[in-house]
């Protein structure tokens, strides 16, 4: 059997615009609702409502054994946190990961936010910096995708961006991925430099890039719920993700409302809409 190419046609990439847009809308609605006292189960319901109202399906709920729309990872949770009825607290650092399946195509994106806490300004500042470092490394990775010839350059750019900002850990057990008809496809997109150049970056490549960065050790454990990935030393973690298409005229960030214009501007990269 011939394996499916990792490179998509222009029409296939255009079909990924809508699930990307819906994923972004769900995350935006969740972000607007985040405040102390809200539970991550309530945020889950908000995301599910946006996705279903758009005629799409929460693709996380299609993963065997998982029934929620979002993953919500609080404080020392890195990724894959299950929504709970624990109210969010001032000062929490929270990552929300979400995706939509629309007409057979997937979107996948994540952001991190720190809840304000007047009594704990230094903790809020360090957590906000951790999130900013992680987000910055995501955009550095996307900028590398826009200009490099091989996927290995993305991980190199992410690692360099994190290392330039101080003593942070890059989680190595989990990686970004190709995305399309399945949420997780080949190739893997590592968040650090690896041996070998990796797959060729050329029109048709669509990948979810998702750095996971910690304020301490990069080692992780899986909690007793058998989903939640947490730092082994209890240090804070952040996670940012976008689904990005490489096409004949440049890159387009499918899960960013502006296609990545603002995030890529510091790198001198201008995203080009899919034609
Ligand atoms: Mg994700
Ligand atoms: Mg992903």
Let me know: does 50 contact 70? Beta carbons within 8 Å. no
Using alpha carbons, list the distances in angstroms from residue 194 to 163, 170, 181: 15, 13, 27
- For each successive 10 residues of the chain (275 residues), what is the average pLDDT? 79 98 98 98 98 98 96 98 97 98 98 96 97 98 98 98 97 97 97 95 98 97 96 98 98 98 98 93
Closest CA to 139 of 124, 116, 160, 118: 160
Rounded distance from Cα 122 to ligand 2 centre (Å) = 31
Cβ < 5 A residues, ion ligand 2? 108, 208
Using alpha carbons, list the distances in angstroms from residue 269 to 139, 142, 145, 158, 229: 10, 9, 10, 16, 33
CATH of residue 48: 3.90.230.10
Cβ < 5 A residues, ion ligand 1? 97, 108, 110, 241
Rounded distance from Cα 48 to ligand 2 centre (Å) = 17
Count of CB atoms situated within 10 Å of the CB of 253: 27
Rounded distance from Cα 229 to ligand 2 centre (Å) = 14
Q: What is the pLDDT of residue 1?
A: 46
> Does residue 275 fall inside a structural domain?
no
Structure-block tokens of residue 104:
């057979």
How many separate domains does the chain show? 1
Structure-block tokens of residue 163:
């290392």
Ligand nearest to the CA of 183: 2
> Does residue 1 fall inside a structural domain?
no
Q: What is the pLDDT of residue 275?
A: 79
Structure-block tokens of residue 171:
């989680």
At 188, phi and psi to the nearest 5? -70, 145
Owning domain of residue 180: 10-267
Rounded distance from Cα 241 to ligand 2 centre (Å) = 7
> Does residue 122 fall inside a structural domain?
yes
> Does residue 2 fall inside a structural domain?
no
Tell the residue number behind the tokens 């048709």, with chain if given.
204
- Kindly report the CA angle at 137 between 9 and 48, in degrees rounded to 5? 65
């Amino acid at each position: 059997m011939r394996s499916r190419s990792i490179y998509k046609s222009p029409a296939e990439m255009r079909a990924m615009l809508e699930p990307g847009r819906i994923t972004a809308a769900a995350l935006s609605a969740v972000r607007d609702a985040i405040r102390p006292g809200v539970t991550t189960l309530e945020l889950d319901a908000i995301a599910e409502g946006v996705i279903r109202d758009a005629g799409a399906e929460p693709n996380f709920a299609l993963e065997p054994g998982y029934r929620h729309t979002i993953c919500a990872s609080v404080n020392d949770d890195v990724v894959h946190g299950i929504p709970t009825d624990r109210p969010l607290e001032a000062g929490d650092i929270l990552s929300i990961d979400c995706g939509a399946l629309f007409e057979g195509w997937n979107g996948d994106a994540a952001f991190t936010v720190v809840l304000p806490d007047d009594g704990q300004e230094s903790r809020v500042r360090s957590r906000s910096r951790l999130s900013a470092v992680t987000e910055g490394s995501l955009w550095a990775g996307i900028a590398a995708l826009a200009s490099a010839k091989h996927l290995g350059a993305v991980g190199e750019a992410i690692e360099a961006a994190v290392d330039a900002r101080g003593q942070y850990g890059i989680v190595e057990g989990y990686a970004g991925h190709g995305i399309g008809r399945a949420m997780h496809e080949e190739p893997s997109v590592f968040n650090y430099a690896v041996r070998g150049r990796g797959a060729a970056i050329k029109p048709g490549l669509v990948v979810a890039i998702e750095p996971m960065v910690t304020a301490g050790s990069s080692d992780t454990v899986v909690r007793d719920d058998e989903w939640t990935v947490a730092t082994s030393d209890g240090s804070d973690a952040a996670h940012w993700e976008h689904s990005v298409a490489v096409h004949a005229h440049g890159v387009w960030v499918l899960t960013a409302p502006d296609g990545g214009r603002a995030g890529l501007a510091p790198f001198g990269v201008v995203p080009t809409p899919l034609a």
